[in-house]
Homo-oligomer: A and B are copies of this chain.
């Protein structure tokens, strides 16, 4: 089945700090014309840290868009031209003050396939050591270590709602059959 949509033309609606918004006119496989609203995002990296005694590093952070304090694994946007691996190491240290000796890929996820091109690169951190915490002026973050078994319960009870966090835990559990 032909499913591809081809762009005819488009316009930029908004060019902001975190997102850019465009509106494209496309031809559908049946030759109908449709409009696609696209939020352009530079992508991000997120890091699952599990300590030797099987505790997961989570952060509590207020998220303005949801008007809630939520649990997440450390994560952040890629800088322009930055590769996802370097961004992951940087964000981990900036947000939590921990350095990893290396990162193991846990897949790339597509959080918003209806309207945003954001991709999030998931990693598992190895050998975490204390480094230098450095939060942005408008970041307020509280790090916590929670046993993996409790994290699973928090996903099941829906106390953890963040998709990248659930995906990282899921991919880790599938990979290591925990």
Contact = CB atoms under 8 A, between A and B. Distances in A.
Interface in A14-41: 14, 16-19, 21, 23-24, 26, 28-30, 32, 34-39, 41
Interface of A: 1-5, 13-14, 16-19, 21, 23-24, 26, 28-30, 32, 34-39, 41, 44, 60-66, 69-70, 72, 77, 107-120, 137-138, 140, 142, 152, 155-156, 158, 161-164, 166-167, 169-171, 173-175
Nearest to A122: B158
A161 B155 CA distance: 19
A113 to B, nearest CB: 4
Contacts of A44: 114
Contact of A158 (B107, B113, B142): B107
Contact of A37 (B1, B19, B158): B19
A contact patch SS: mixed
Contacts of A118: 112
Contacts of A3: 60-62, 69, 140, 142
Copies in the complex: 2
Given A16-B37, A19-B37, A140-B1, A171 B166 contact: yes
A108 B167 CA distance: 14
5 contacts: A3-B60, A24-B64, A39-B116, A107-B155, A167-B167
Contact of A167 (B2, B63, B163, B173): B163
